[in-house]
Structure 1
Amino acid sequence: MTDSRLDPILGALAHPRRIAVMRCLTSEYLPIPVPSFATYLALSLFADAEADDFEEFRSEVHDSLYHVHLPILAEAGIVDYDPDLADGVIDEGPEFETAVALLEASE
């Protein structure tokens, strides 16, 4: 694999929230609607949140996924993401397995 192919993947994985996204995305549950995934991700990120605060956390996670993190992951080819489909659907992109392998190697 050439460095030029890895650069966008590594760049996309440089943010802690995108690393958390990739740690929660598993191919067995894909494709998944963004709202469902946002709830799952919020539960993993804010497991100790009070019930009254959880909806605020879930909403923040959803908005950051929709507007920031999923477009960056899609641009790098890690996920396929079409925000124009109903609530948006996340699926594996052509570089999904490469990104997973890079994260596993860094652990």
Structure 2
Amino acid sequence: MDDQSLDVVFDLLADQRRRYVLACLIDHTEAIGLADLAADVAGRENKEAVTKPPKEKVRTIHTSLYHIHIPKLVEAGVVEYDQDRDLVRVSETGEQIEHLLTVAADGGEER
């Protein structure tokens, strides 16, 4: 991976919501609906709460995924988005950054 590619990956991983999106997509072997992805991300962001995140929070996350995060991840080639079917999945490139995502989740301690 060259320096420019590494900069793109670090930019993508700099945002916690995008890290949650990638973690969720890596956890799923199949494409996931954008609404389901938003609910999963809301749950990850609301991890301390016992109850499900409020619908308004899920709706807000859905909007940010649709307008900001998914387009940025698609442009970088990390995810694929089928707008007609409203499905998102991690691309082969995204699978390659799984290790970096794991290192980031562990607080930077590589094992």
Query: Which residue in the other structure is 2:100 paired with?
Result: 102
What does the per-residue CA deviation read over 1:26-55, in whole Å, with 9 as the maximum and x for residues that have no partner? 25343111011111221222242766x610
Q: Percent identity?
A: 31
> Which runs of 5 or more structure 2 residues have no equivalent in the other structure?
107-111
One-letter amino acid of the structure 1 residue matched with residue 45 of structure 2 = L
Give the 3 Å change call, closer, same or farther, for CA 49–67 of structure 1 in structure 2: farther
**Equivalent residue number for residue 109 of structure 2:** none
TM-score, normalised to structure 2's length?
A: 0.79
Give the length in aligned residue pairs: 104
Q: Counterpart of 1:81 in 2: which secondary structure? A: strand
1-structure distance, mates of 2:90, 2:18: 14
Could you tell me which residue of structure 1 aligns to residue 56 of structure 2?
Answer: 56
- State whether residues 27 and 92 of structure 1, in contact with CA within 8 Å, keep that contact through their aligned partners in structure 2: no
* Alignment check: 8 A CA contact 1:9 1:77 kept: no
CA contact (8 A) 2:12 2:73 kept: yes
Aligned letter for 2:40? Y
Q: Distance in 2 between matches of 1:39 and 1:50?
A: 12
Between the aligned partners of 1:54 and 1:28, the Cα distance in structure 2 is 23
The answer to which structure, 1 or 2, has the higher relative contact order (CA under 8 A, 6+ apart) is 1
* Separation in structure 2 between the aligned mates of residue 75 and residue 94 of structure 1, nearest angstrom: 14
Q: What is residue 67 of structure 1 aligned with on the other side?
A: 67
TM-score (norm. length: structure 1): 0.81
Q: Structure 1 residues 28, 16: closer, same or farther in 2, change over 3 A?
A: closer
- Check conservation: 1:34, 1:89, Cα contact below 8 A: yes
**Deviation string, structure 1 residues 10-38 (Cα, Å, up to 9, x no partner):** 21111111112122222534311101111
For 1:27 and 1:55, the matched residues in 2 are separated by 23
